[in-house]
Amino acid sequence: MNKYLYQGKLALVTGASSGIGEAYTIELAARGCHVILTARSEDKLEALACQIKREHGVQAYALPSDLSIVGASRQLAESISELGLTVDILINNAGFGTYGRFEDIDPEREQEEMMLNTATLVDLTHLYLPGMLERKDGIVVNVASMAAFVPCPYSAVYGATKAFVLSFSEALWAETRGRGVRVLALCPGATDTGFFDAVGSRDMAAGSALSTSENVVQAGFRGIDRRTSYIIDGRNNYMAAQMGRFLPRARAAKIMERLSRPKV
C-alpha cells in the first residue's frame, strides 16, 4: 500500500452516496485522504461525511449535485474553489445505465446517461488534470466497465459510453506518463450495488456473478500502484473481456445479444 499517494491529499469522488463511490470514499479516508463527496442525495452525503470524519479523522465535504445536468460540473468546481480546496485525486465514478430494446428506451434518459457517463467525466478531468500536471502530482480514476470491451445489445448506449471512458482514459494515461500523474480506467463487471435496481432489471448482467464494491475499489488501488492504464476487477471478468480480442466483433455482439436478451 502506497500511503504517500493518499495521506493528506484531497480527493473528489462523484457518485459518492452509495455503491462503488461510497466504498471508494471510505477507503480513501482510511488511507488518510480528505474527501469531497458529491451525488444527488444530500442526506446520504451528509451522513457519510459525518461518519468519515468521526471514524477516520479526516476532512469530509458533502457537496450535492446532479451531474447529469449541463453545467453542473462547473458549478461544483466553483463551490470547491470557494471553499479554498485543491483537488489532488479525481474519482470519476458517477454514472448509470439503461436497459431494453433501444426503440423502447426514453431518449431523454439516454441523453442524461451520455451527459453523466462521458461529458461530465471529461469536463471534470479538464478542470482538475491541468493543476495536477502543474504540481506533477495527482491521480485520475475513471470508472468504466466490462461493457467497454464488447458490444452491448439492450444496453447499447451504456456500453458505448463505457467504451468511450476506456479509450479516453488509455489515451490520457499515455499523454501523462512520466509527468507525475497516474490515470486509470477501472473496469468492474456486474457489482452488487444499486445499479441494477436503477436499471430495473438484472438481465443486463448477462448471468455474471456479482462482485462487491469493496473488491472493485481494491482493484482500483492495485491498478494505480501498478501504473497500468486500465484494470479489470476479477479473473473471470478479465477472461470474458478477451472475447472482444479473439472473436470477430459481429460474433461477439451476437453472443452478448443472447446472454443479455430480456427474459420477459
Annotated catalytic residues are 158
Task: Return the C-alpha cell found at 232.
Answer: 479489470
Which residues, including other chains, have CB under 8 Å from residue 93's CB and lie 6 or more apart? 13, 14, 15, 16, 20, 21, 24, 141, 143
Q: Which three cell numbers stand for residue 236?
A: 473471470
Asked if 92 contacts 66 with a C-beta cutoff of 8 angstroms, the reply is: no
5 SS3 class = helix
Nearest residue to 67 (alpha-carbon basis) of 105, 115, 22, 10: 115
- Note the Cα 107 to chain centre separation in Å: 23
How far apart are alpha carbons 204 and 120 in whole angstroms?
24
Which residue in 179, 233, 217, 231 sits closest to 33, CA to CA? 217
CA–CA distance, 58 with 117 (Å, rounded to integer): 29
Q: How far apart are CA 168 and CA 227, in angstroms?
A: 16
Contact (Cβ atoms closer than 8 angstroms) between residue 181 and residue 130: no
